[in-house]
Structure formats: structure tokens, C-alpha cells
Structure 1
């Protein structure tokens, strides 16, 4: 006999999130129009892994979707390619290779800042959009 609680996400008390999945999800949302989330699939248990997922049409699998931003407080501004170019031009040191390298460094600094701002807890309400809220502990992998 199946435990009806297996479909109740309020059974979850701890989420495991790979830091690279979180960073990739945040970056994809900034750079594209894709709806990238961290997803937890039923059956639900006390400890669950949230995995990177691109939301497509018509999905109704009982999954819980977390916007990656709920894991970071506050979310730093993502560096724009044009801003990096403007900074180099202002310093009169622009060329394509220096632009590429400078932007890679800016993105790496952004990723380091996100890692420093990871939240230890998130609310299930943030994903489910309903009350009452259940607080979940978050453990980061990698």
C-alpha cells in the first residue's frame, strides 16, 4: 500500500543542491529566455535532491519547481558583455581577446559572489505559491 505522503512535498525537510546546477540555472535565466529551475520529483521523502531543469509545455508530473533565485540573498547583478566592453574602452585597452578574457573574469567574480550568498534555508511556499510555508534546510554539493 502506497503512503499518500509520498506525493506531499511538505514531507521534505532537507534539499541537496549542486552549486554548479544553481549557478547554471541563474546564468541561463539571465542570458536566455528559458525558464530554468531546480526541480524535485515525487515520490517525496525527508531528504531530496533538487536538479537543474528547463520547464517545457504541459508538464504536470507533481514536481516542485524552485526559482534558482530563492537560494541566494541577494542575487548579484549579472555582468553584461556590453558593460565589460565599455569598461575596456574607457580604459583605452579594448581588443577582442582582452574583452573575452575580462568578461570571463567578470562572470567568475559573479559566480564567486553567488557562492558567498547562498541561503541555508528556503521556503516550500516560494516554490508552491501556497500557505502555510514549510522551511527547508539546504545542503550544497560541490
Structure 2
């Protein structure tokens, strides 16, 4: 049965790729990416990738916005091109080339994305007008 009370939610389903993409977007430039749960609320809900905008909702109940960092247990640091370049230049077994730098950075980002996907939490606390409410997290994909 659907309701306006987010405390009726027992679990949320998130797509693995949505969590990774939202966290990456925020790490690369603070895009305001979140996972959004939209009312009416029921026991099992889907949280979808969304970019927040100021003054977005005036109606009640408002959707629940979950920062992707709260859905990942101890997310690893996002690899920067500068850090990748430094590691490549310090590698005595490889000469620096732009192509090699690009390949290594792409591999570092792929490893980061995999690490994030493997670290999605089993539960999360939703914050709403009536206070915190803990729910299970089901990972899709």
C-alpha cells in the first residue's frame, strides 16, 4: 500500500551503475548527483539516478535524495590524471607517452568503478522530516 510516509519504506533497490555514475559525477565536479526515491512510498522502492536542482520541489511529500557516498562503504579515492601521470613517470619499466597515460588512466578509472560497485552497502539511513529511518539496500545489475 502506497503512502506519503517515507518510514513505510523497508528496502530500496539501486542499480549498481547508477550508484557508481552518481559518485563519479560528484567526485569529478560536484554535480549534485543523488539517488532519488519518489513518493508515493511503499515497502519496496526504487532509487534512481537524479541531479538535484535548487527549489526543485514544493509539493509534499518531497522525494528522498540519497547522496551516493552514503551508499558506498569507504569509497576509494577517485583517480586523477595527474596521479596517473606521476605513477607512469615513476615506473622504470615504462616510457611515458600520451597514449600510455590515457590507457593507464582509463584502467585506473575502470578499477575505481569496480571497487565502488563492490562496496555498496547493505543498508542506509533515509533522512526525512520525521527523522532518520534505516532501510535495506538491494543492488541490481
Where has structure 1 moved over 6 Å in runs of 4 or more? none
5+ residue gaps in structure 2?
Answer: none
Matched residue, 2:44: 47
5+ residue gaps in structure 1?
Answer: none
Q: Count how many residue pairs are aligned between Structure 1 and Structure 2.
A: 136
Any idea what the Cα deviations from partners look like across 1:52-100, whole Å, max 9, x if unmatched?
0011121115110000011111111111111001111122521111111
Structure-1 separation of matches of 2:21 and 2:49: 8
Structure with the higher strand share, 1 or 2: 2
Matched residue, 2:6: 9
Structure with the higher helix share, 1 or 2: 1
How many angstroms does 1:120 deviate by?
Answer: 0.5
How many angstroms does 1:115 deviate by?
Answer: 2.0
Structure-1 separation of matches of 2:47 and 2:95: 43
TM (normalized to structure 2)? 0.89
Matched residue, 2:139: 140
What secondary structure, in the 3-state scheme, does the structure 1 residue paired with 2:53 have? coil
Structure-to-structure mapping, 1:110-129, within 5 angstroms: 110-125=112-127, 128=128
